[in-house]
Amino acid sequence: MRRCSFCVLLVVVGSTLAAAAEKPRPNILWITSEDNGPHLGCYGTDYATTPNLDALAERGMIYRACWSTAPVCAPARTTIISGMYPPSLGAQHMRSMTRLPYAFKMYPQYLREAGYFCTNKSKEDYNLEKPGQVWDKPNHWKNRKPGQPFFAIFNHTTSHESKLRTRPHKQVQDPAQVRVPAYHPDTPEVRQDWAQYYDRLTEMDALAGENLREIEEAGLAEDTIVFYYGDHGSGMPRNKRWTYNSGLHVPLIVYIPEKFKHLRPDDYLEDGETDRLVGFVDLAPTLLSLCGIKPPEHMQGYAFAGEYATEPQPYIYGFRDRMDERFDMVRSIRDLRFIYIRNYMPHKAYGQYIAYMFQTPTTRVWKQMFDDGKLNQAQSAFWREKPAEELYDLQEDPDEVHNLAASAEHRAILKKLRKAQQDLARDIKDVGFLPEGEIHSRSAGSTPYEMGHDSSKYPFDRIMAVAEQASSIGSSEPKFLEELMQALQDKDSAVRYWGVMGLLMRKQIGVSSSRDLLHRALEDESPYVRIAAAEALGRYGNKVDIAKAVPVLLELAPADKNGIFASMYAVNALDFLDGNAAGVVDQIRKLPTKDPKANGRMKSYVTNLIRKTLADLK
C-alpha cells in the first residue's frame, strides 16, 4: 500500500517537472563557505574585509535570521540535500549513514529530471546514501549543453575550523582589536584564533568573487540567481557543534535579477534586508520553487521565494546529537527575539572532550583556565553540566550567557517555545529519542523515516514522554522516581533506556532509590539499557555496584563484537567512571577498536575514546 502511495507521489512530481521544463528558467549559483557565521562587512562586522560579498548584498538582499538547522557540517548538508530535518531521517548524528525512503530524492535529482545541469565543486558530505546519480560530471556549469539551465555549487573551505589553528599564519587583522565574546576568556590564544578567523573570511570572499566574475564574464549575470551562505557558525568552540544562535546563525545573501523579478519574495529589496526566519531545511523547497518545481509533500521546509513561496513560519529549529565520539541530544528553536534550548542529556557537560575540537588553541587554553579556577561564571559554564532548559534574549544578550529559563517574567515565552519545540518533534517523528544503534536495528528492512512513522516499531509518544520526564532533572521527589522506575519495566527498550537515564541523571539519589532495578537492568536484552544502568551504578554506586557494573561495560566495549554504536556508548561510560575504572586499565588498553561494518569516517572514534579514557585514569 505504501509503495502505491509513493508511486502517486512520483506521478505528481513528474508532471510538475514537465511543466517546469516548458518555462524560461533561471540558472542558479550557490556559493558556500565553511564554519562561519554572519561576520561579513554587509552584516556590520568591523573585522573582516569582504568586498565581493558586500557588493552582492548591494545588488540583492541579506537575511538577518537564517539558521543552518545543524551546527556542524555533515548534518547541516544532510538537511539541505534532503529538504528534511535529519532527526526525522535518523541522519542527525555526525558521520552517520542511512537511506531515504524509496520515493524520496535528493533535490538535484528533481532538478536534473526537469532538464537542469547540476554540479557540485566539490563537497558532498551527507549522512545519507545517494539514491542513484545526484550530480552531473564534469563538475562545472561550463560543461552543460548549449542553452541548458544549470544549478552549480562552489564550496570554499578556507574558513574551516582547521584553518583557524594553522600556524604559521600571516596576520592581517590585529588580534588586539577583535571582540572576544563573553563566554570566552580574553587571552592571546583566543584573540589569535578569532583574528585568524576574520582573515580567513577575507580569503574566502576573494574566492567567492572569482565565482561571481566567472558568471559575469560569461554574460550570464542577469540570467543567474545567486545564493551565498555559510554552512554553520564559526569554527570556534561553543559556536560550531552547539545549538546556540552563535552555532546556528549563518549569513545568507540572495540576488534575483530583474529578469526573474516575478520569482522574488514579497519582502525582496535591492540592497535591502529581511528578518524573515529561514533555515537550511527551507533551501531545497525554495530552490525547486525558483525553478518552477512544486516541492514534494515530504519536504519539511518552507519555500521563501519562487512560484511556490509560502507565508513565513514563526520559528526556526536546530538540533545537536552525537558529535564525533561523544553522545548528546539537544533541540533548539528561536523566534525573532528569543532562543529556547532543550537539553535531553543535561548530566553531560557542554564541553565534552572531542579530540578534533581540542586541536584548537582556544579550546585547550579555555579548559586549562577552567581547571585552574581562573574563569568567571559566564566563561566557566561551558565546562559544567547543562540545565534542562535554556532561554536567551538575543536582543539584550547576543552572547547567550544569561539564562532566563527560571525567570517568572519570561515564563510565557518559555512555555510557548517549549510547546513549539515539542510540536515539531511530534510532527516529524524525531527518532533521536532512540539510542543511535536502535535507529538502525529498528529500521532494518526499511528506513528510519518509515520506522519512525510506524507506531508499532516506534511508539513515539510513550518514548518522548518518559524522555521529557527523565531529563527534567529539577525533580527527585519519591513519586517522580517511582514513575522512572516503572519505566524500567516497559516492554519497549527505549522507554526502559530513558527510565534508566532519568535515574542516572539523579546521581546518588537515583541509584540509592532503585539499586535492585538497576542491577536487573544490567541483564536487559538491550545493550543501551545495560550500558546506562552500568554507568549509573559505576559512577554513583557502592563497591558492590561498581564491581558488577564495570564488567558489563568491558563486555560491550569491543567494537568488533558489539558494533560501533554499542562500543562507543560503553567506552563513553567507562570514561565517565573516572577512578572507579582504575582497576581495569589493562583491559581497556587491549579493547578492539575496529568494527568492520562501520563507515570509514567513524572508525577512529572508539580509538579516540579509549585514548582519552586511559589518559583520564593516569
Mean pLDDT of the chain: 94
The reply to whether 429-617 shares the fold of 25-312 is no
Residue-wise pLDDT tens digits, 28-61: 999 999 999 999 999 999 899 999 999 999 999 9
* Residue-level pLDDT at 263: 98
CA distances 503 to 211, 517, 567, Å, are 55, 10, 22
| CA-based nearest residue to 255, from 230, 226, 222 | 226
The tens digit of pLDDT for each residue in 552-605 reads 999 999 999 999 999 999 999 999 998 899 999 999 999 888 887 777 778 789
Q: State residue 363's pLDDT score.
A: 98
Q: What does the pLDDT average to over 500-514?
A: 96
CA nearest 246: which of 262, 230, 259?
230
What mean pLDDT do residues 104-109 have? 98
What is the Cα–Cα distance from 212 to 57, expressed in whole angstroms? 12
Query: pLDDT-derived band of residue 288, with 50, 70 and 90 as boundaries?
Result: very high
What is the crossing angle of helices 460-471 and 411-428, to 10°? 150
| Residues labelled catalytic | 73
Residue type, 288: L
Cβ-count burial of 555 within 10 angstroms (0-12 exposed, 13-18 middle, 19+ buried)?
Answer: middle
Quickly state the pLDDT bin for 355 (edges 50, 70, 90).
very high
What's the 3-state SS for 130-194? CCCCCCCCCCCHHHCCCCCCEEEEEEECCCCHHHHCCCCCCCCCCHHHCCCCCCCCCCHHHHHHH
Q: What is the pLDDT of residues 463-475, one digit of tens each?
A: 999 999 999 977 6
Alpha carbon distance 306, 617 (integer Å): 58
CATH code reported for the domain at 25-312:
3.40.720.10
Q: Give pLDDT, residue 7.
A: 46
C-alpha cell at 268: 525582496
CA distance 486 to 223: 63
Residues 6+ apart with CB under 8 A from 30: 151, 152, 153, 154, 226, 227, 228, 229
Cβ of 374: how many Cβ atoms within 10 Å?
Answer: 12
Q: Flag whether pLDDT at 8 surpasses 50.
A: no
**Domain spans in the chain, listed from the N-terminal domain onward:** 25-312, 330-413, 429-617
Question: What are the residues whose beta carbons fall under 8 Å from the beta carbon of 359, sequence distance 6 or more?
Answer: 162, 165
pLDDT of residue 5: 42
pLDDT band at 610 (very low <50, low <70, confident <90, very high): very high
Q: Given this model, what pLDDT does residue 592 score?
A: 84
Task: Write down the H helix ranges in 237-380.
Answer: 245-248, 283-290, 361-371, 377-380
> Do 242 and 350 form a contact (C-beta atoms < 8 A)?
yes
**167 φψ region: left (φ > 0), alpha (ψ -120 to 50), beta (else):** beta
Separation of alpha carbons 351 and 333, rounded Å: 21
Residue corresponding to grid cell 572532550: 353
pLDDT at 10: 47
- Please tell me the distance from the alpha carbon of residue 592 to that of residue 288, in angstroms, as a whole number: 47
CATH topology of domain 429-617: Leucine-rich Repeat Variant (1.25.10)
Pairing of strands 316-320, 150-156: unpaired
How much is the average pLDDT of 518-546?
98
Percent of the chain predicted with pLDDT > 90: 90
